Structure 1
Amino acid sequence: MTLNLATLFEAVAAALPDRTVLVCGDRRLTYADLDARADAVGRRLRSAGIAPGEHVGLHMLNGIEYVEALLGCLKIRAVPVNINYRYTDRELHHLYTDAGLAGLVVDDAFAPAAARVAGECPALRAVSVVRTGETAEKPEWPSGVSVGDYSSEPGEPDPSLREGRSADDHYVLYTGGTTGNPKGVVWRHEDFYMAALKGGNPYGPPRLSAEELAAEAKNGFELSFLLTMPLMHGAASYTLLMALLTGARTILMRRFDAMDALRAIDREKPMIVAVVGDAIARPLVDAIRAHGAEYDLSSFKVLGSGGAILSRSVQDEYAELIPDIHINNGFGASESGVDGSISVGADGLMRLGADASVTVVGADMKPIPPGSDEVGYVARSGHVPLGYHNDPEKTARTFPVVDGTRWSVLGDMARVEADGTVVVLGRGSGCVNTGGEKVFPEEVEQALKAHPAVMDALVAGVPDDRFGERVAAVVELRPGASATAEDLREHCRAHLAGYKIPALVAFTDAVVRSPSGKADYRWAKRVLTEKN
Structure 2
Amino acid sequence: MNVSIGTIWEAVCRALPDAVAITEPGRETTYRKFDERASRLAAALEAAGVGEGDTVACYLYNGAAYLETVFAAFKLGAVPVNANYRYTGEELSELLTDADAAVLVFSGALADRVTHAAKHVRTLKLLVRVGEPPADGPGGPAVPELEELLTAHAPREPRRRPGTDQLFMYTGGTTGKPKGVIWQLSDLLHAHVVPFYHPLGVTELPASLDEAVAVAVEARHEGRAPTTMPVVPLMHATGLFNTMGALMTGGRAVTTRAGGLGPEHVWHMIAEQQVDTAIVAGNAVCRPLVDELLRAEKAGTPHDLRSLRRMISSGTALSDPLKKALHERADVTITEAIASSEGGPFAFAITSSAEDLPSRFHPVPATRVIGPDDRFLEPGSEETGVLAYCGPMPLGYYKDTEKSAKAYRTIEGVRYAIPGDLARLEADGAIRFLGRGSGVINTGGEKVHPQEVENVLLGHPEVTDCAVVGVPDETWGERVAAVVAVQPGSTVTGHELRDLVRRSLAGYKVPRSIVLTDRLPRTPTGKLETAWARKTAQEAGSGDGT
Q: Aligned residue for 1:183? A: 179
- Check the 8 A contact 1:42/1:75 in 2, yes or no: yes
1:336 aligns with 2:343: yes
Q: Which runs of 5+ in 2 are unaligned?
A: 542-546
Shift of 1:366: 3.4
Match runs of 1:144-155 below 5 Å: 147-151=143-147, 152-153=150-151
Q: Distance in 1 between matches of 2:279 and 2:443?
A: 37
1:126 aligns with 2:129: no
Q: Distance in 2 between matches of 1:128 and 1:282?
A: 35
Q: Distance in 2 between matches of 1:441 and 1:346?
A: 27
Q: Aligned residue for 2:544? A: none
Q: Distance in 1 between matches of 2:538 and 2:89?
A: 26
**SS of structure 1 residue aligned to 2:101:** coil
| Residue 259 (structure 1) aligned to one of 261, 264, 270 | 264
- Check the 8 A contact 1:199/1:205 in 2, yes or no: no
- Check the 8 A contact 2:48/2:126 in 1, yes or no: yes
**SS of structure 2 residue aligned to 1:466:** coil
1:233 aligns with 2:241: no
Shift of 1:421: 2.7
1:51 aligns with 2:76: no
Q: Aligned residue for 2:324? A: 316
Q: Aligned residue for 1:272? A: 277
Q: Aligned residue for 2:84? A: 84
- Check the 8 A contact 2:409/2:415 in 1, yes or no: yes
Provide Cα deviations, 1:38-82, integer angstroms capped at 9, x if missing partner: 111111111111121011111111111111111111111111111
Q: Aligned residue for 1:201? A: 197
Match runs of 1:129-140 below 5 Å: 129-132=129-132, 134-135=134-135
Percent of residue pairs bearing the same amino acid type:
36
TM-score, scaled to structure 2: 0.90
Q: Aligned residue for 1:291? A: 296
**SS of structure 2 residue aligned to 1:494:** helix
- Check the 8 A contact 2:110/2:133 in 1, yes or no: no
| Residue 158 (structure 1) aligned to one of 134, 156, 159 | 156
Task: Give the partner amino acid of 1:124.
Answer: L
With 177-186 and 191-200 compared, the bigger mean Cα shift is at 191-200
Q: Which runs of 5+ in 1 are unaligned?
A: none
Q: Distance in 2 between matches of 1:420 and 1:169?
A: 36
Q: Distance in 2 between matches of 1:308 and 1:494?
A: 24
- Check the 8 A contact 2:60/2:85 in 1, yes or no: yes
Q: Distance in 1 between matches of 2:144 and 2:35?
A: 22
**SS of structure 2 residue aligned to 1:410:** coil
**SS of structure 1 residue aligned to 2:144:** strand
Q: Distance in 1 between matches of 2:388 and 2:294?
A: 39
With 110-119 and 77-86 compared, the bigger mean Cα shift is at 110-119
Q: Aligned residue for 2:455? A: 446
Q: Distance in 2 between matches of 1:360 and 1:155?
A: 52
Q: Distance in 2 between matches of 1:92 and 1:157?
A: 30
With 340-349 and 218-227 compared, the bigger mean Cα shift is at 340-349
- Check the 8 A contact 2:471/2:537 in 1, yes or no: yes
**SS of structure 1 residue aligned to 2:490:** coil
Q: 1:68 to 1:343 in 2, by over 3 A?
A: closer
**SS of structure 1 residue aligned to 2:225:** coil
Q: 1:133 to 1:457 in 2, by over 3 A?
A: same
Provide Cα deviations, 1:289-324, integer angstroms capped at 9, x if missing partner: 2215443221122222121221112112212233x3
Provide Cα deviations, 1:98-148, integer angstroms capped at 9, x if missing partner: 11111110112222212213333111121111124534656565xxxx831
Q: Distance in 2 between matches of 1:294 and 1:352?
A: 32
TM-score, scaled to structure 1: 0.93
Shift of 1:389: 0.7
Q: Aligned residue for 1:305? A: 313
Q: Aligned residue for 1:219? A: 218
- Check the 8 A contact 1:108/1:135 in 2, yes or no: no
Q: 1:77 to 1:147 in 2, by over 3 A?
A: same
Q: Aligned residue for 1:412? A: 421
**SS of structure 1 residue aligned to 2:117:** helix
**SS of structure 1 residue aligned to 2:265:** helix
Q: 1:74 to 1:495 in 2, by over 3 A?
A: same
| Residue 394 (structure 1) aligned to one of 403, 411, 417 | 403
Q: Number of matched residues? A: 525
Q: Aligned residue for 2:394? A: 385
